[in-house]
Amino acid sequence: MQDSKEISYKTTDQTRLLYRFVYISSALTAVSGLLCLYPLRIYGVVPTAFFCYTLFAPINILLFKKFGGLKLTAIRSAIISLTVTLAIILFSGGINSPFIFILAVIVLGGYAGARIFGTVYLYAVLFAVLLIYGMGEWSPKFLINEVPIASQPHFGLICVLFSVYLVGGVFGRNILRAHRALNTSKSELEKRIAEKEFLLREVHHRVKNNLQTVSSLLSLQGKNSCNKKIQELIEGSQNRVISMAIIHEMLYIRNDLSKIEFRSYVKELTDYLINSNQIKNKNIHIQIDIPEVQLGIDTAILLGLLINETVTNSLKYGFPPDAEGLITLTLTREDGENSYLLQICDNGIGFSKDLDFRNSKSLGLKLIHNLARQLRGSVQRKPSEKGTNYQVVFKDVNRHMGKIT
């Protein structure tokens, strides 16, 4: 519906421009023809061409009103204008005729009406100029300058006034009006964009608040349970919720609403995991080696959940009591479009080399595998001398986020 309105508006604007050009140019050509006959005593093709345009241009508009066809009407108008202009130029001095400047006005009129017509007019006028020059060289006897020597300065003045009025009075006014309309549209678009950005920030803010509410409810539910296994499950779900809430909080307070500064996000998430896991008798440090890179929201959410699972596993099960450990997160760009390698390593006790992500009964390990798959990548656990080493190859999926299975 909106597209049809825009097309209708453009068609109406082009129609008004065509009407204005035809009516004003017809009146000017009629006056110019009369001035050629009586004061300037120019007879023959030149005044006849002026009067022909005065006659045929309105007939073209009548045909348009009866049968329609804006493009066909514009083509007929271009043929009439170009033919009359060429006739006047050829019999008023050829390449030296002052009326030759009207050819430039025709090109301007074409671009004012539509870009494609302006291009067609441009090539047509260039061909016409070459034709005029060639006819002046090849047929000097055929081309007679009908303008008397005494009338040539006055005829030149008429041509200049004619072209100046068409450029400034007709096309210049329409171009200025179009410029004002574009400025108005630009201001309205900027206002709408600002409103949408404000609303989008509010949405992220509300989502963050809702996720924090869910986290608080999970925390209360966990405290009311005496079953330690249930408490651990609830705590894991709470961490997953918070990992997503942090993203929406960052989107709310930062300028870019479509990208996440990944290093800042990982730092905030790992700080939260260190504080929330209540590590007793453990001195665990986290080292982040991530360049300044911005990732899409969907990618950041999936990576946040994946980092939550791996780091939480390391904090809970990777180090014995009274141990000092290090967890390292490293991100490097791989060969290929939007392809990255994320390494999550610890120097803890590790786990069995025969353990398979897909066949594991651990929900965390299953999530790690499925999250990597949604990132259009893969995860591998590389054997190391000590601890656990996850290597996740992924792509910035942006809006290709799928369901967690």
CATH number of domain containing 305 = 3.30.565.10
> Which 3 state secondary structure label does DSSP give 95?
helix
Task: Give the chain's largest Cα–Cα span.
Answer: 114
Residue 10's pLDDT band (boundaries 50, 70, 90)? very low
Task: Considering only residues 135 and 40, tell me which one the structure prediction assigns the higher pLDDT.
Answer: 40
Domain boundary at 121, 152, 187, which?
187
Report in angstroms the alpha-carbon separations of 344 from 310, 363, 375, 393.
7, 18, 16, 12
Task: Copy the structure tokens of residue 369.
Answer: 């595998």
Residue 8 confidence (pLDDT)? 43
On whether both 36 and 179 belong to a single domain, the answer is yes
Instruction: Say whether pLDDT at 309 is over 90.
Output: no
Q: Are residues 14 and 155 in the same domain?
A: yes
Range of the domain at 97: 2-187
Kindly state the average pLDDT of the residues 75-100.
85
pLDDT of residue 13: 61
- pLDDT tens string 379-397: 887 766 677 888 888 888 6
| 144 and 289 co-located in one domain | no
Residue 99 lies in a domain: yes
In the chain, how many domains are there?
2
pLDDT at residue 114, as a whole number: 60
Identify the domain boundary among 157, 172, 187.
187
Q: What is the mean pLDDT of residues 279-283?
A: 61
212 is a domain residue = no
Q: Which of 12, 48, 16, 13 is nearest to 29 (CA)?
A: 48
How far from each other are the two terminal CA atoms of the chain, in whole angstroms?
Answer: 40
In a domain, 399, yes or no: yes
Over the Cα atoms of the chain, what is R_g?
A: 38
For residue 25, report the phi and psi dihedrals to the nearest 5 degrees: -65, -35
Q: Do residue 173 and residue 306 come from a single domain?
A: no
Dist. CA 265–CA 256, nearest whole Å? 14
- Whether 256 shows a pLDDT value over 50: the answer reads yes
Q: Is residue 236 part of a domain?
A: no
Same domain (yes/no): 38, 177: yes
Same domain, 179 and 323: no
Number of H helices, E strands in the chain: 11, 7
Nearest CA among 258, 249, 248, 261 for reference residue 197: 258
Residues 173 and 58 in one domain: yes
* pLDDT of 337 strictly over 70: no
Query: Does any domain span residue 220?
Result: no
In a domain, 9, yes or no: yes
Residue 18 near residue 114 (C-beta atoms within 8 A): no
Q: Are residues 319 and 173 in the same domain?
A: no
The pTM of the full predicted model, rounded to 2 decimals, is: 0.56
Q: Are residues 327 and 181 both part of a single domain? A: no
Q: Is residue 199 part of a domain?
A: no
Tell me what the mean pLDDT of segment 108-122 comes to.
67
Are 28 and 153 part of one and the same domain? yes
- Asked whether residue 270 is domain-assigned, the answer is no
Residue where a domain stops, chosen among 167, 187, 207 = 187
Instruction: Please spell the DSSP secondary structure of 289-305, one letter per residue.
Output: E--S-EEEHHHHHHHHH
What pLDDT, on a 0 to 100 scale, did the predictor assign at position 12?
Answer: 62
Question: Which position has the token pair 């600002």?
Answer: 194
What does the buried/exposed string (b/e) look like for 269-278 if buried means 16 or more CB atoms within 10 Å of the residue's CB? bbebbbebbe
Indicate whether 33 and 161 sit together in one domain. Answer: yes
* pLDDT attached to residue 174: 65
